[in-house]
A and B are shown apart, each in its own frame.
Chain A
């Protein structure tokens, strides 16, 4: 535990730097100097507007979503004792997207704003229950890592089809909105949705962080955790719901962005070990910094057009996943 505060502070600094980079670069050609002048209070109004009304909310959104995805990935890994577990790979993000699209096409989303995150949350929970149950039945005598991943990927493919079907049938279909739900981006950043995200992610994150020591026990196996005094079923249920809430909230605002919850917790594990008291907050912050940078890349590579941020995270995430999978196979 010694050294943890310094490591968290280090990651905090990384998030701030990533945020500064994200705000400093964009299609309009404004740069780091303009950020500095805005902070100092002597920038012209249009510069201020672009930085504070467009780029700042987008950066805050990226940090929140990246953090929520990093933390939920780490949570699923601890609960399933599986380093490959991640909301996108497990099909949970896809389930959340189906829930959100379902709310949209029924018109409920337009009537009642909180229906969208609720639909996404319920979609995430349903997808998780489905995938875990399929994996459990397909591998008697303990859930097999690769069976679990396979179930998740199959469920994800199914959810993608459902999303396209719903959008087409409901005639809501514009090509852009389909892309948004299949491969998310942060272009819808505004302070309203950030408020939603903060309100949902904060309590869920606090709950998960309070379970850090129970996660340490659970990652030794459920029976061991029980003997050491963990209330295994209660911890699992609470953590699954909290992680699903984070995934659902993120997907409702930015669509499906994969692999953040895979890459960052793993990098933190490699550097600093598997104590969840450090690993959980570090995964949140590393996820935040990573998504800030990934989103900056997404805005810049084809400027003035934009890539979906999910494309950038997948470009990093898929090779990473393959390496992890091959390592697991050797074990």
Chain B
């Protein structure tokens, strides 16, 4: 899998019948071995940005490109071989097993009449193992807990063998351990050379795991850069409209000093 660079330049999008633009003039770039966290309040345009970057929405201004090739030039299969997406939620009235679900990730690598071969099965086994859900392979999706289901969906994205991985709030609804395991997994994938973009509301984990933060506010980039630069009290209080303090991570380990956000109670103002 060779590394590629996914670039968005001056992206803008207004949803049909909406008055305000969901995203305006946002530019970003993710390349191999980088983990970018997109943060911001509800309704700031994070999911719209992800849909623009994945090609699911076509920007009304600006351009998304993959290694300097406009995304629109790629066919659907070709695009899915380059960009894998874990969307926020999915539901289906037709239950499938974990193995069938992850096997769907191989779609873009097979012709219509081609059957999954030993290489495809080996990849499915490997990503099931990697995401810690191999023991669930024969289970039906509906029987899984939130954390297990989320890891199965990430395994399916990894089965695409795409160099770019986009995740929309993968930690939503997960408990402390699953959240930590998930961010560790993302960091491992980044170490493998993937370009990873994750939307999250967890500023504290983003500060510790991401190389770069992009803070969105009402569809525009409020700040972009290393976590230490983006996470300042002035910016966050203004963006979230809530008083807060930043404290350095106490350690131990390499995260010592990473800015951790502590929102204040109303009576503490």
Interface residues of A (CB under 8 A from B): 1, 77-78, 81-83, 210-211, 213-214, 216-217, 219-221, 223-224, 226-232, 269, 273-275, 328
Contact = CB atoms under 8 A, between A and B. Distances in A.
B76 A210 contact: no
Contacts of B92: 81, 219-221
Nearest to B78: A229
Interface string B51-89: 000111000000000000000000111011101110100
B107 A229 contact: yes
The 10 nearest A-B residue pairs measured at CB: A229-B80, A229-B108, A227-B85, A274-B94, A231-B76, A229-B77, A210-B112, A219-B94, A221-B90, A228-B107
Interface string B28-67: 0000000000000000000000000011100000000000
Contact of A269 (B87, B94, B115): B94
B96 interface: yes
B76 A229 contact: yes
Contacts of A77: 94
A224 B107 contact: no
Contact of A229 (B81, B95, B115): B81
B144 interface: no
Given A210-B112, A220-B92, 16 more contacts: A213-B107, A216-B100, A219-B92, A220-B104, A221-B90, A221-B91, A223-B56, A223-B90, A224-B90, A227-B56, A227-B83, A228-B107, A228-B156, A229-B77, A230-B107, A275-B100
Contacts, number: 83
Contacts of B80: 227-229
B165 to A, nearest CB: 11
Nearest to A231: B76
B84 A227 contact: yes
Contact of A230 (B56, B76, B81, B96): B76
Contacts of B76: 226, 229-232
Chain A CB within 10 A, most for which of B76, B95, B108: B76
A81 B94 contact: yes
A82 B93 CA distance: 7
A228 B112 CA distance: 14
A81 B94 CA distance: 8
A220 B141 CA distance: 11
Nearest to A331: B93
A214 B76 CA distance: 12
Contacts of A216: 96, 100, 104, 107
A227 B93 contact: no
A223 B87 contact: yes
Contacts of B180: none
Contact of B93 (A83, A210, A217, A232): A83
A308 B196 CA distance: 61
A227 B80 CA distance: 6
Nearest to A210: B112
A81 B96 CA distance: 13
A328 B94 CA distance: 12
Contact of B96 (A82, A224, A231, A274): A274
Contact of A81 (B93, B115, B160): B93
B110 interface: yes
A213 B110 CA distance: 10
B85 to A, nearest CB: 4
Nearest to B97: A273
B116 interface: yes
A68 B75 CA distance: 32
Chain B CB within 10 A, most for which of A228, A229, A231: A229
Nearest to A226: B56
B112 A211 contact: yes
Interface in B130-165: 156-157, 160
